[in-house]
Amino acid sequence: MRIPYESTGVIGRQYIALDREIVAAILLTLQSGWAAANITAAGEVEITEQLRDGMRAALNSGRLPWGKSFIVALGMESRSTPSTTTPDGRTDIPVYVVAVFLRYGEHDPHAIIECKRLDGADTHLCREYVVEGVDRFRTGKYAENHAAGFMAGYLLRGDAAEAAGGVNAYFRRVRRTAEQLAISDIVDDPSFWRSAHRRAHPSPPIELHHALLGMA
């Protein structure tokens, strides 16, 4: 497991640009955690708790070479910027990368996973996935000093391609076609997708990595 790329603090904080290898490991930990969790809940919050437990179990199992490289934390209140004095968000699954802490002493999460229920045929859920998920990263509410963010989509029906198609249809309706999801170029698996989103200057764009996870 390599440390992140060296990068300057372009927005006044330590800018965290995770190596592709670390991004891949986080995605595969999500997938392994989902398999280990044996999801039985129906509510989004309860599913997320079970997924977090599954991720921890997967990291502790000895089957993942990077098992000691990450810490999967409880959901927590968060501040979008250091100058914000009152928490203005709550992250679903924060992840700490041991190499990042050792290099920079950065106490805030090094990767954030936002979790949403999703059904490609349900226009309301597709809109919520974007407005209450993607846009939290795009506006800097989450991961303001990160080059990458992560989303877990809990597929109530259909497969990952159908879910991505529903989200992309929403992006087309609101004329944000440049932000549409495409199949991941980091991990070759139909569950993984990616998208890129501009943020307000001087923050650079953020890349989101989507794990679209079937409930069945």
One-letter identity of residue 62: G
Q: How many domains are contained in the chain? A: 1
**Residue 185 near residue 138 (C-beta atoms within 8 A):** no
Burial class from Cβ neighbours inside 10 Å (0-12, 13-18, 19+) for residue 91 reads buried
Q: Residue 179 is part of which domain span?
A: 20-214
Can you tell me the distance from the alpha carbon of 73 to that of 134, in angstroms, rounded to the nearest whole number? 21
User: For the chain, which ranges sit under pLDDT 70?
Assistant: 1-12, 76-89, 216
- DSSP β-bridge partners for residue 181: none
* 9 within some domain: no
Residue 5 lies in a domain: no
Domain assignment of residue 154, yes or no: yes
Residue 15 falls within a domain, yes or no? no
Does residue 77 lie in a domain region?
A: yes
Residue range 10-52, pLDDT digits in tens = 445 789 999 999 999 999 999 999 999 988 878 999 999 999 9
**Residue 114 located in a structural domain:** yes
Q: What is the pLDDT of residue 215?
A: 83
